[in-house]
């Protein structure tokens, strides 16, 4: 066999293989769709009656004829029957499931939502072609009392995935009930809430009973037939079991509400008085007076902690600026030209022995310089991004203990809040384990109180008011600030000759309060008020940028603050990224299901 024939044979084989695959794919797809059978007919007989107490009872017989594919795919059908109507149980009782000959068909019964699910068929046997399923069950309390007494029932239900070629319902009334029939009937078809009436309804009576018939053809998947029959008011009454069920539901609702409301109320009852005793600050000054100098017996770290009752990472950029102004550090700004925007980084260099600094300031520099704190050491802030996130917490613990010892707080904040934090978290976890919203809310309340405990002492409040006065002074307009310095109150606080500030005095004032401006978040406004002081960078700040202007330092300080904060802030974890009216409708009654 030559090569050309081999190639031709190979090509034909490949084409045949693809053709076979193309033929098999739709077959396998069709076999995979287990819902592709049809309901030839769904015929239901309803026998409505009432007892001496006028409680309604409904005996139901459903004859379902299904046509299955002529291959092994289905074992039977699923029938979902609602267990409740108008918010109460219907006391569903399944009597039997048989075929057209009356022989019992195997089925299992389970609950899903508000439905009883009948799984009808032998799991070890397939069914083909026409199959008949006869389901008998009874229910109670099936009357709607909205406006009048009415039997409002969904026949096949809107949960089927099959087409219904014929759907019929026959409501059988005894002569006793036939006398109460008010001649009002309606039927509805379509999906849930549809007001279509593609159906017919009529009645016929005999000596023994009145039969009301309703029918529809060619209902599509999820389409239902509903039948509405009216009776004189007072024909039926709800059974005592419904009242008992409602009482039980009310009790459960009260218990549920109690389980939600009671734990947070208890938490508030415990922790609000505790906060009044141990968390609410003593009353401070009636009026905050402007202060123009930093507090003498409280450094910048202590000031931040006293104000915030914690140490924000933003404080540390202000502390570095303070140490630079005081001659211990030099901040070096380096710019690298880029097409759209210059890349700016910052180096910090030790230019003076740090042995005279406070212990907290030394800890900060030891962390920043990795304990290499001799004069001449230099570090790039951008290289430290996120590496120093534990530093604010470590410093906060030390300052907390120190301020408690000095009598600024009644308790050590770190220890007190750790206790409340653990208590709140444990209670929240317990709430999740027990699925109790109220317990979770109680834990949240404890965590809220955790943020406002403990209280400052009288001395602590006095120093806090002083800092607020300093902030007030810094927010004044320049003319108001000078006016204050020249006022009798201002003159009492400063020597007379400093009221008329020279440029050198203004520089000293600006630099002495710049770290506090950063602490208060006022560095932009504070720097703008002294924008004409610098024609070249101050000794503690150098830059490789050209054209230094009075506002240059303002923008640089903002950039430096952002860069510093990134070094002392932990990285953020990534995130990822829930009818009545109009005269009735299909699916608005009882029964149905799917």
User: Could you read off the pLDDT of 9-20 as tens digits, one per residue?
Assistant: 455 555 545 554
Chosen CATH of 34-242 out of 2.60.40.1730, 3.20.20.80, 3.30.200.20, 3.90.1170.50: 2.60.40.1730
Instruction: Give 136's strand partners.
Output: 61, 96
Q: What is the pTM of this model?
A: 0.59
Please indicate whether residue 573 or residue 451 has the higher confidence score (pLDDT).
451
The residue to which tokens 């030209």 are assigned:
337
- Which residues of 431-558 form beta strands (DSSP E)? 541-543
What is the separation of C-alpha 93 from the centre of its chain, rounded to a whole number of angstroms?
41
Q: What is the pLDDT of residue 340?
A: 73
Asked if the peptide bond before residue 454 counts as cis, ω within 30 degrees of 0, the response is yes
Q: What is the pLDDT of residue 461?
A: 94
φ, ψ dihedrals at 417, nearest 5°? -70, -30
**Residue 583 banded pLDDT, cuts 50, 70, 90:** very low
Torsional class of 12: left (φ above 0), alpha (ψ -120 to 50), beta (otherwise): alpha
* pLDDT at residue 147 is higher than 80: no
Which residue intervals of the chain bear CATH 2.60.40.1730? 34-242
Contact by Cβ (8 Å): 293, 341: no
The string of pLDDT tens digits covering residues 484-536 is: 555 555 544 444 444 456 777 778 878 888 899 999 988 888 887 777 777 77
Q: What is the pLDDT of residue 247?
A: 86
Please give the Cα distance from 8 to 3 (Å, whole number).
Answer: 9
Torsional class of 561: left (φ above 0), alpha (ψ -120 to 50), beta (otherwise): alpha
* pLDDT at residue 250 is higher than 90: no
H-run or E-run covering 108: strand 107-112
Strands 164-174 vs 38-50: parallel, antiparallel or unpaired: parallel
Torsional class of 464: left (φ above 0), alpha (ψ -120 to 50), beta (otherwise): alpha
* pLDDT at residue 570 is higher than 90: no
Contact by Cβ (8 Å): 567, 385: yes
% of the chain surpassing 70 pLDDT? 85
Contact by Cβ (8 Å): 585, 188: yes
The residue to which tokens 């076999």 are assigned:
31
The string of pLDDT tens digits covering residues 184-210 is: 999 999 998 888 999 999 988 877 889
Q: Which letter does DSSP use for residue 237 in this model?
A: B
The tokens describing 408, both together, are 């600024």
Contact by Cβ (8 Å): 230, 181: yes
Q: What is the pLDDT of residue 314?
A: 84
Please give the Cα distance from 561 to 311 (Å, whole number).
Answer: 15
Overall average pLDDT of the 47-54 stretch:
91
């Amino acid at each position: 066999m030559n090569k050309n024939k081999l190639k031709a044979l190979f090509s034909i084989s490949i084409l045949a293989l693809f053709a076979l695959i193309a033929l098999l794919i739709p077959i396998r797809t069709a076999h995979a769709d287990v819902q592709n059978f049809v309901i030839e007919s769904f015929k239901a007989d309803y026998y409505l009656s009432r007892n001496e107490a006028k409680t309604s009872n409904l005996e139901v017989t459903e004859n379902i004829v299904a046509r299955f594919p002529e291959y092994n795919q289905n074992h039977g059908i699923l029938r979902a029957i609602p267990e409740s109507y108008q918010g109460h149980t219907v006391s569903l009782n399944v009597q039997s499931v048989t075929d057209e000959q009356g022989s019992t068909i195997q089925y299992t019964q389970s609950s899903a939502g508000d439905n009883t699910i009948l799984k009808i068929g032998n799991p070890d046997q397939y069914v083909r072609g026409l199959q008949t399923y006869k389901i008998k069950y009874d229910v109670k309390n099936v009357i709607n009392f909205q406006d009048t007494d009415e039997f409002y029932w969904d026949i096949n239900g809107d949960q089927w995935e099959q087409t219904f070629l014929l759907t019929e319902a026959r409501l059988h009334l005894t002569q006793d009930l036939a006398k109460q029939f008010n001649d009002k009937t309606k039927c509805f078809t379509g999906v849930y809430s549809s007001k279509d009436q593609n159906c017919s309804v009529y009645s016929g009576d005999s000596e023994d009973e009145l039969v009301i018939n309703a029918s529809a053809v060619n209902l599509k998947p999820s389409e239902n037939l509903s039948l509405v029959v009216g009776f004189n008011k007072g024909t039926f009454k709800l059974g005592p079991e419904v009242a008992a069920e409602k009482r039980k539901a009310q009790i459960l609702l009260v218990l549920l509400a109690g389980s939600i409301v009671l734990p947070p109320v208890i938490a508030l009852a415990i922790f609000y008085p505790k906060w009044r005793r141990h968390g609410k600050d003593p009353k401070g000054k009636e009026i905050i007076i402007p202060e123009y100098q930093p507090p003498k017996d409280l450094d910048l770290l202590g000031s931040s902690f006293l104000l915030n009752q914690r140490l924000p990472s933003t404080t540390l950029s202000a502390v570095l600026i303070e140490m630079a102004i005081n001659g211990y550090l030099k901040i070096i700004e380096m710019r690298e030209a880029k097409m759209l925007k210059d890349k700016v980084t910052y180096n910090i260099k030790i230019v003076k022995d740090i042995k005279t600094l406070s212990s907290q300031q030394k800890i900060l520099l030891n962390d920043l310089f990795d304990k290499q704190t001799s004069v001449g050491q230099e570090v790039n802030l951008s290289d430290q991004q996120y590496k120093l996130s534990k530093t604010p917490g470590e410093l906060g613990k030390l300052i907390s203990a120190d301020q408690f010892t000095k009598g600024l707080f009644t308790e050590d904040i770190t220890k007190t809040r750790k206790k409340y934090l653990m208590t709140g978290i444990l209670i929240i976890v317990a709430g999740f384990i027990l699925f109790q919203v109220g317990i979770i809310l109680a834990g949240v309340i404890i965590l809220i109180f955790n943020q406002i405990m403990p209280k400052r002492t009288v001395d602590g409040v006095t120093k806090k008011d002083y800092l607020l006065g300093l902030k007030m002074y810094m927010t004044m307009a320049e003319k108001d600030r000078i006016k204050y310095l020249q006022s009798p109150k201002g003159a009492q606080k400063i020597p007379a000759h400093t009221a008329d500030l020279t440029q050198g005095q203004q520089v000293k004032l600006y630099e002495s309060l710049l770290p506090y401006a950063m602490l208060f978040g006022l560095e932009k406004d504070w720097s703008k008020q002294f924008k004409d002081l610098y024609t070249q960078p101050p000794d503690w700040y150098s830059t490789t940028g050209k054209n230094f202007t009075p506002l240059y330092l303002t923008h640089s300080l903002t950039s430096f603050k952002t860069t510093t904060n990134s070094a002392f802030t932990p990285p953020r974890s990534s995130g990822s990224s829930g009818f009545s009216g109009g005269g009735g409708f299909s699916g608005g009654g009882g029964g149905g299901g799917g």
